[in-house]
Amino acid sequence: PRSGGGELATPRPHSRLDCHAFGDKLILASLPEDLEEPELMRFFSKQGATQTIVARARTCSFASVSFPGSAEVARFLSRTAHCFSDDKDTRVARLLCLEPGSAETPKLP
């Protein structure tokens, strides 16, 4: 979990996470250094996820998010906005599509 919580905590700036869907899993790349499994699970469990795993390397970090099946992944991807609320605030995650072959298409490590 993130340290330094409470009223004096600095809010997380907007983050861009690259995402790939494979069957019943999402793979997230470009994770911020302070983003951990419990925080991901708090968000994704509300979307139907059953497990998150974070892997870190020297130059990048990524996560695997498991769902019960591909239908739950499809449901998640079909919505462009997802809300996450905790005790203090509500955050909105937006899904943005990129054209295949675009220079901005996220790459897996």
**Looking at the whole model, is its pTM more than 0.75?**
no
- Which of the given ranges, 14-23, 29-38, 65-74, 80-89, has the highest pLDDT on average? 65-74
Residue 91 φ/ψ, nearest 5 degrees: -120, 150
SS3 of 41, please? helix
Comparing 103 with 80, the larger pLDDT belongs to: 80
Give percent of the chain above pLDDT 90.
22
The pLDDT of residue 4: 38
pLDDT band at 67 (very low <50, low <70, confident <90, very high): very high
Rounded distance between C-alpha atoms, residue 5 and residue 39, angstroms? 13
How far from the centroid of its chain's Cα atoms is residue 58's Cα? 20
